[in-house]
Amino acid sequence: SKYASFPITNPLSHPQYLRNLLAKPEKAKKRDEEEEKRMAELPLEILKILMEELISWVVKEACSLSEIKSPIKSLEKTKCIIEAWLLDADATQLPEGPGREAF
């Protein structure tokens, strides 16, 4: 048969796989916990990215509409104002404590 050189094996029957599985349950559990934590933090990360994109877009639009002589300073001021406004407007959606400050 043309498939004779590619035997199908069950990974559970492989001795090294079984040794690794039995020898490192703590590492596997820790890896699972880290994955769960990362997945739990994902919505907050998405919100951060969206917030950054929104702020960037609003600042660009605000600067393109204004005729200010020093656009760099006004950009920084505008960004701070917009960030404060957005955080205040969405305060009920943010976690309390250090999570909110980090956000």
Residue 6 carries which DSSP code?
Answer: S
The residue extents of the domains of the chain are: 11-102
Q: What is the Cα–Cα distance from 31 to 21, expressed in whole angstroms?
A: 13
Q: Model-level pTM greater than 0.85?
A: no
Burial code (b: 16+ CB inside 10 Å, e: under 16) for 7-17 equals eeeeeeeeeee
Contact 54, 86 (CB under 8 A): yes
Render pLDDT for 28-64 as a digit per residue (tens, 0 to 9): 677 788 888 888 888 888 888 888 888 888 888 777 7
